[in-house]
Amino acid sequence: MVIETSLRDSILDAAESLFERYGYGKTTVDEIAKEAGIGKGSIYLHFESKEDLAFAWVDRIHRRLEEQLRTILDGDGSFGARLHKCLVHRVIFRYDLFACHERSMDEALIALKIKLLGRRDAMHRLEAELIAGHLAAGVANGECRSLDVQKSASSMVTATNALMPYSLRPNQIGNRQEVVERTNDLADLLVLAVTKEPR
């Protein structure tokens, strides 16, 4: 099982590299197999098609972000500091991702738009659930105001989504430092709105 997982990751790594170099549309399964150093048939043991492989690549990115957000929310620091770090991280993670993989993301979004939008929306719902859990814990221990945690978490996701590079290229949103500063400012306001005392 470890070997299979490793091979799957190797295939996804190869696909990611080729998607970035040549774009999703121009990359073939044959080229992915060659880049991964395996036979084409081995790819079809793990993925039904190039499209399926692209979805798995996006899902792997989402799993990485989910793990990082869980680590932040379960980590050290005050309720407000962890919430703030989580809100900033969800924006900057995506900014850095699009900055590093601009070509592959652009092409994949165009080619697979409807299905990828569904995955993106599901990830946003998951992030809202993680934040809602953190808010609920904050209410329970007296660090957070009494509020509708689901609605508040959803609003926080919606607010910070405005700073994400979905419809604009990262350089159209601003340089990284500007995005970090704007995201920190917005997170400050959102955290202040729900905490009983400022961080």
User: Which tokens in the block code for residue 136?
Assistant: 């609920």
Q: Are residues 113 and 169 in the same domain?
A: yes
Q: Which two tokens stand for residue 132?
A: 């809602």
Kindly state whether residues 4 and 99 are assigned to the same domain. Answer: no
Query: 182: domain range?
Result: 50-194
Structural domain contains residue 113:
yes
Q: What is the pLDDT of residues 126-135, one digit of tens each?
A: 999 999 999 9
58, 36: one domain: no
Higher pLDDT, 104 or 50: 50
Distance, in Å, from the CA atom of 10 to the CA atom of 93, rounded to the nearest integer, reads 22
Whole-model pTM over 0.95: no
Is position 102 within any domain? yes
- How many percent of the chain have pLDDT more than 70? 86
Q: Which CATH number characterizes residue 131's domain?
A: 1.10.357.10
Residues 152 and 87 in one domain: yes
Q: Is the pLDDT of residue 194 over 80?
A: yes
Which of 47, 64, 79 corresponds to the end of one domain?
A: 47
pLDDT of 99 over the 80 cut? no
Q: Is residue 189 part of a domain?
A: yes
Q: Are residues 164 and 75 in the same domain?
A: yes
Residue after which a domain boundary falls, among 29, 47, 65:
47
Overall domain count for the chain = 2
Do 185 and 103 fall within a single domain? yes
In this structure, is residue 121 part of a structural domain? Answer: yes
Q: For residues 182 and 180, what is the distance between their CA atoms, to the nearest angstrom?
A: 6
- The verdict on 74 and 29 lying in the same domain is no
The answer on 172 and 183 residing in a single domain is: yes
In this predicted structure, what is the pLDDT of residue 164?
83
The reply to whether 18 and 70 lie within a common domain is no
CATH number at residue 14: 1.10.10.60
Q: Would you say 120 and 59 are in contact if contact means Cβ atoms under 8 Å apart?
A: no
Buried b (16+ CB within 10 A) or exposed e, 47-83: beebeebbbbbbeebbeebeeebeebbeeeeebbebb
Of 2-6, 38-42, 51-55, 191-195, least confident by mean pLDDT is 2-6
In a domain, 20, yes or no: yes
Burial class (CB in 10 A: 0-12, 13-18, 19+), 43: buried
75 lies in the same domain as 23: no
Q: Are residues 2 and 69 in the same domain?
A: no
Name the pLDDT band for 172 (thresholds 50, 70, 90).
Answer: low
Say if 199 falls within a structural domain: no
pLDDT confidence bin for 137, thresholds 50/70/90: very high
Q: Are residues 20 and 114 in the same domain?
A: no
Residue type for position 118: G
